Amino acid sequence: MPPVFKSLIILIVGFLSLSNVDAQQYQSFVGIRFGAALPMGEMASHNYGYGGYALLGKSFGAEAAWFVTPKLGFGVDYSMNSFEFASGYYAEDFYQANIKDYIHVSLLSGPYRLRTYMGGAYYKVAISKKMSSTFKLMGGLFKVRTPDQFYGIKTFIAGNLNWWKIGATDTKFTFLTGASLEYKVYPMVSLLLQADFTFTRAAFTFINGSSSYVDYMYMPVLRLQPGVNIHF
C-alpha cells in the first residue's frame, strides 16, 4: 500500500479516536474489497489499430471514510487492478495486417496494470435498520501501464525477427463515482457489494529506436467488488 494512502488512513483513524460519542453513530469505516474490473471502450476493443485488447481484470481495493453527519462523510479510496492482454487475438490481427510480408506471428504479453488514488465525499442512505446504500464522488490519480510484450515474427524476406515492446506509463487526474449496498452482520461489521466507475484518456509514449510516438486511448473501467467494512 502506498505511503500516502497509509498516511491518510492513519490521519482518518486519528480523527475517529478524537471524535465524540455522537460521531460513533455515524458509522465511519475502513474496508477492503476484492472483485472484477471490466475494461470498456477502446481499452477493451479488439479492433486492430486503436483497440487496447484488454480482458476482464482483477481488482483489489481499500478505503476509509469519516462521517461528520449521519449522511455525509469524506474519505479516501485506493485500488490495484490488472487486465490480461488478448495476445492470441492481437497476434492474428497483426498477422492479417501484414500478411504480404509475414509468414507467422507469435506474441507473449504481460497485463495492463492500473492503480487509482482517490479522495472525495460520501453520502449514505439508510434502507432499513441493517441495510444502507452509500454513494461517493471522488477525484484523484489514474496511473496505468501498458503490457511489456515480446514479438516473434517469421518473414518471407528477412527470416526471423524478434523484438521487445516495453510498456509505457501515463498518470492522469480524473474522477471516480460509485455506489454500494451494505448489510450489517454485526454491530461493527458489514458486508457489501460495491460498483465503481472511473475514466480517462491516457497518452502512452513509446520509444522506437531513436524516435518516439504517442498512442492515445480512452480507458473507462467499471469495478464490481464484494467487500467488508469495519465501523467505528
Please give the mean pLDDT across all residues of the chain: 90
pLDDT for 3 equals 56
Question: pLDDT tier at 6 (50, 70, 90 boundaries)?
Answer: low
User: Under a CB-based contact definition with an 8 Å cutoff, are residues 177 and 221 in contact?
Assistant: no
Domain ranges of the chain: 3-231
Question: pLDDT tier at 25 (50, 70, 90 boundaries)?
Answer: low
**What is the total residue count of the chain?**
232
Q: Which pLDDT tens digit goes with each residue over 80-106?
A: 999 999 999 999 999 999 999 999 999
Place of cell 444502507: 132
Stretch among 62-66, 76-80, 160-164 having the lowest mean pLDDT: 160-164
User: Under a CB-based contact definition with an 8 Å cutoff, are residues 52 and 45 in contact?
Assistant: yes
- For the residues of the chain, what is the DSSP string, one character each? --HHHHHHHHHHHHHHHHS-HHHHTT--EEEEEEEEEEE-GGGT---TTT---BPPEEEEEEEEEEESSSSEEEEEEEEEEEE-B-HHHHHHHHHHHTTTTEEEEEEEE--EEEEEEEEEEEEEEE-SSSEEEEEEEEEEEEEEEPPPEEEEEEESSS-EEEEEE---EEEEEEEEEEEEEEEEEETTEEEEEEEEEEE-EEEEEEEETTEEEEEEEE--EEEEEEEEEEE-
Residue 112 has pLDDT above 90, yes or no: yes
What CA–CA distance (Å, rounded) separates 82 from 115?
9
Residue 227 has pLDDT above 50, yes or no: yes
- Sheet containing 149-155: order of strands: 102-109, 149-155, 160-165
pLDDT for 210 equals 78
The CATH class for the domain spanning 3-231 reads mainly beta
